Structure 1
Amino acid sequence: MTSASDHLANERTFLAWIRTGIALIGFGFVIAKFAIFLNLIKGTKGVSISSSVIYGEVLIFMGAITIAYGLYSYVEVEKDLQEGTYRSRKLENGIFAGSIIIIALVMSFLLL
């Protein structure tokens, strides 16, 4: 039997995923807009797609994926709490962490 504190802890964890995703999305927008701002300062006409815009878009994508995974995790844990069971999510967490690490490594090698 689960208590209210179990459900509330699951909600707090979900909100942490949301907060992290929003931070990544916000940082992505800052990086993408910074390239546009630099073009305005230089006085160049039009907006060229620079590497900053691409890196910003990747961060926005990573933020969206983080929020989606947080929602998936929240729903699955909530289902487990209602059934009175708990299943470890080692595989899902490993896939998520691995994909974020791969994206980060690819992005860091593109900076070189």
Structure 2
Amino acid sequence: MAHRKPEKSHENKPTIDSQYIQQHLASERTFLAWIRTAIAIIGVGFLVTNLHFTMRSSLSPIGDILANVIGISSVALGIITIIMATVAYMKKIDAINNQTFRTPKITIMTLGVLVIVIALIFAAYFLIA
């Protein structure tokens, strides 16, 4: 008599997530794009800070302050982006399954405004330094 593996009942049943697999995969790709964006924002902050301190002898004290502000704010914005992307991703899982998805306008607008603020600080840095 051959031994059979006991069948697990949950293996063959479709899950709620599998009903909307394309939407969940698209949501995951969007989340990963936000993570890449956050890493790029943090990287730009480190780049400006490193370039500034490499050329430090020829720059003004205000340039020092702006370089520090750019570095710190870029890292902070990157961390905020990761947190907001994670929260939005987790909310989308249930929203997709319940068919109650809404576009995250506030998240997009908040991050957009913060990026503009950092861009203005960059502009001030390049004008002063």
TM-score (ref. length: structure 1): 0.72
Moved over 6 A (4+): none
CA contact (8 A) 2:34 2:81 kept: yes
Flag the structure with higher helix content: 1
Q: How many residues align?
A: 103
* Long gaps (5+) in structure 1: 43-48
Q: 2:30 aligns with which of 4, 13, 24?
A: 13
Secondary structure, counterpart of 1:84 in structure 2: coil
Q: Which amino acid aligns with 1:63?
A: G
Letter in 1 for 2:32: L
Select the residue among 65, 71, 74 that pairs with 1:56. 71
Note if contact 2:70-2:122 (Cα within 8 Å) is conserved in structure 1: no
Instruction: Percent identity, please.
Output: 32
Kept after mapping to 2: 8 A contact 1:31/1:53 = no
* Counterpart among 83, 87, 90 of residue 75 in structure 1: 90
Q: Distance in 2 between matches of 1:86 and 1:12?
A: 16
The answer to whether 1:93 aligns with 2:108 is: yes
Take 1:10 and 1:62, find their aligned partners in 2: how far apart are those partners?
21
Q: Alpha carbon RMSD of aligned pairs, Å?
A: 2.4
Where does the alignment leave 5 or more consecutive residues of structure 2 unmatched?
1-15, 58-62
- 1:45 maps to none
| Structure 1 residue 79: Cα displacement | 1.8
Tell me if the contact between 2:49 and 2:70 (Cα under 8 Å) persists in the aligned partners.
yes
